[in-house]
Chain A
């Protein structure tokens, strides 16, 4: 059904259609509209679920951990400081192979305190063992939540999934979307059937002490499962796409890259702006394209290599930094290409930190500058007056 809806309310509606049994959250801007929406759906009797209001994000993540271990579908959402407060629990949820789904309404990390969008929060927990999917727009945000549950609960995977949605840019924006009907979601998403659960009828112990004799194998197992997840995400996307009758991005979306000499790589909503600039430059005859990474974890290295291997110039556009080193996505793209023998000119561009606007003019500037090979990351859109002050 087509409807005009706010991003957060769209997410609340689709999560509700995924029928989570236990939802737990702690309020933080810009995540709030999502959990408010879910609380209202429960209050109105439209969703039958337990909504647990907790005293911190650490406990929100712990509540869904406990509920998921008891064998029911769970959901939580957070942003920024909240995600970082959860960090310890996030590693624990993944280590225990619990298929929790979390929405991260992406927001910058303090200090200085800043409630606006960038990707520093979810990037910081990229090594936690969670699958991470980034949405470009509200439609994709809707689709990725349904796919997230299917992938997380697939017995070949049994890992948690974080769906990253740009704070404000998507959570508070309105868009006409195709909202899948309940029946369709039911068809795509079978009942959660856990491999093990806390059950007095068949008591198990979960969360045991892992000595040096066996800890490493648990990490290897997750690393291998991440490889399997590449296939499972692709399969799930294709089957979902058939069901909804429209194209849905899989691991990545390649945009006008076939003969492209210059390709910009990015995550999330900024790719929408990049595509517009690609269209504009294509009209002028420039051979440019864009590569959107949807699945950041697992990182689809082969797919990325195939998309980028023939380009002369690659720019990686990121809303996150690794202070004291190169930015995370750039580092991984560069390593992926180098390991497979591709040697394009590849440059790193930091944009939009703390909600700084990213204009089409800046994207055009990046397309121009990416021919110039530089050792260091370039920060685009800096206010030089502030720096000199």
Chain B
């Protein structure tokens, strides 16, 4: 399969880490680092990925890797990049900063914006599982509309998260980055291609990868890729690609009803009984389909 190194012994993120079964982030992160290759230094934000790969004295990483804090992966990466520039090694080494949706779009937003604005030669990867999973499924700025989380719970007066996702990709694109894309763990070859393409560009670049979380979204751990695929096929998670500010590609879909995606997940169970709220989610998908001209129909 594309995007995957044939011999697991050559994976740059080794197996044996402590991620949950079916963790979308674990799959995506391995594809990213394998695509980047061994001449890579990773700056990793605090979060599930950091915790399940580096419980001292063990590490899953076969590339140079550092974790500092929650909100500063982009700034730490900026320092790594500056040091490599000083040493004249920037052409030989890839610098990747990575974090979850909270570490990127909320607490790390300023740090990311600074990194993008300053023009560092860094790829930032956001693993978007749409809530603070490491702390127990609290709502983030990338939690979708009406999603049931522990801090946007469903109740008599609440239909879950009251806001749609922060337009993170557009925020990155607005920084005039040379490359920006969304991807999904359901298409590993696409992730690999996008990482390699991003790394072929000089300057800052950004990839946001949709990574379902069985525990947080409440679905069976065998369904991770199925759920990820449906998010794209319903129009709720458009896969798009920007180069130097211009939209250069989208994954076309034959739009499926959003219910097919929602009904697999406990976080949306309440929605299926609320036609008006469901209609609002349909509108989100429809707006994406129109905005990016996703439909092949």
List chain A positions with a Cβ less than 8 A from chain B: 21-22, 24, 48-50, 52-56, 58-59, 62-72, 74, 88-89, 92, 96, 198-200, 203-211, 214
CA of A68 to CA of B66, assembled, Å? 12
- B69 contacts A200, C-beta separation under 8 Å: no
Digitize B271-290: 1 where CB-to-A-CB distance is under 8 Å, 0 elsewhere.
00000000000000000000
In the assembled complex, the CB of A332 is this many whole angstroms from the nearest CB of chain B, namely 29
From 57 to 80 in chain B, residues with beta carbon under 8 angstroms from any chain A beta carbon are 57, 59, 61-69, 71-72, 74-80
- Bound complex: CA of A70 vs CA of B294, how far in Å? 43
Could you say which of B43, B56, B64 contacts A210, with CB atoms under 8 Å apart? Answer: B56
A-B contact pairs, 14 of them (CB 8 A): A22-B86, A50-B85, A50-B86, A58-B111, A59-B110, A62-B75, A63-B78, A66-B66, A67-B80, A71-B87, A92-B69, A199-B64, A203-B62, A205-B67
* B196 part of interface (Cβ distance < 8 Å): no
CB of B193 closer than 8 Å to a CB of A: no
User: With A and B bound together, what is the CA distance between A211 and B55 in angstroms?
Assistant: 8
Q: Which residues of B contact A209 (CB under 8 A)?
A: 50-51, 54-56
- Among A52, A209, A214, the one with the most B-chain Cβ atoms within 10 Å of its Cβ is A209
Question: What is the distance, in angstroms, from B10's C-beta to the closest C-beta of chain A?
Answer: 14
Residues of A within 8 A of B111 (CB): 55-56, 58-59, 62
> Would you call B67 and A65 a contact (CB within 8 A)?
no
Please report the C-alpha to C-alpha distance between residue A65 and residue B80 in the assembled complex, in whole angstroms: 8
A63 adjacent to B79 (CB under 8 Å): yes
Chain B contacts of A199 at CB under 8 A? 64
B69–A67 touching, CB < 8 Å: no
- A52–B80 contact, CB under 8 A? no
Apart from A63-B75, A198-B41, A203-B62, 15 more pairs, CB < 8 Å: A50-B85, A54-B118, A59-B72, A63-B76, A66-B76, A66-B80, A66-B82, A67-B83, A68-B83, A70-B41, A74-B79, A203-B64, A204-B64, A208-B55, A208-B59
Contact call B63/A214, Cβ cutoff below 8 A: no
Q: Collect the chain B residues with CB atoms within 8 Å of residue A210's CB.
A: 56
Contact, CB under 8 Å: B41 / A200: yes
Contact call B75/A59, Cβ cutoff below 8 A: yes
* Assembled-state Cα–Cα distance A259/B70 (Å): 54
How many chain B residues sit at the interface, stated as a range, is 35 or more
B residues in contact (CB < 8 Å) with A? 38-41, 43-44, 50-51, 54-57, 59, 61-69, 71-72, 74-87, 92-93, 110-111, 113-114, 117-118
Most chain B beta carbons < 10 A, residue from A24, A63, A208 = A63
What is the chain B residue whose CB lies nearest that of A209? B55
Q: Enumerate chain A residues within 8 angstroms of B65, measured Cβ to Cβ.
A: 198, 203-206
Given contacts A55-B110, A63-B82, A72-B86, contact A207 B59 (CB under 8 A): no
Question: Closest chain A residue to B60 by CB distance?
Answer: A205
In the bound assembly, the distance between CA atoms of A89 and B70 in angstroms comes to: 10
Q: Of the candidates A67, A203, A206, which one forms a contact with B67 in the assembled complex, judged by CB atoms under 8 Å apart?
A: A206
C-alpha gap A200/B94 in the complex (Å) = 10
Question: Is B83 in contact with A22, judged by CB distance below 8 angstroms?
Answer: yes
Considering the complex, give the chain A residue whose CB is closest to the CB of B62.
A203
A205 in contact with B39 (CB, 8 Å): no
Evaluate whether A52 and B78 lie within 8 angstroms (CB atoms) in the complex, with A72-B87, A203-B61 already known: yes
Instruction: Verify A70–B80 contact, CB threshold 8 A.
Output: yes
State in angstroms the CA–CA spacing of A361 and B110 once bound together: 49
- Which residue of the partner chain, among B39, B79, B87, contacts A66 with CB atoms under 8 Å? B79
Q: Complex formed: what's the CA distance from A205 to B65 in Å? A: 5
Q: A62 CA to B115 CA in the complex, in Å?
A: 12
**What residues on B are CB-neighbors of A66 within 8 Å?**
43, 66, 68, 75-83
CA distance A74 to B86 in the complex (A): 11
Known contacts A200-B38, A206-B67; is A72 also within 8 Å of B83 by CB?
Answer: yes
**Which residue of B is nearest A51, CB measured?**
B82
From residue A193, how far is it (CB to closest CB) to chain B in Å? 14
CA distance A24 to B76 in the complex (A): 11
Complex Cα spacing A120 to B292, Å: 54
**B77 surroundings in chain A (CB, below 8 A):** 66
A47 to nearest B CB, angstroms?
Answer: 12
A50 and B110 contacting across the interface, CB-CB below 8 Å: no
| B54 pairs with A67, CB closer than 8 A | no
B243 to chain A, nearest CB (A): 25
A208 touches B57 (CB 8 A): yes
Question: In the bound complex, do residue B66 and residue A69 qualify as a contact, i.e. CB atoms below 8 Å apart?
Answer: yes
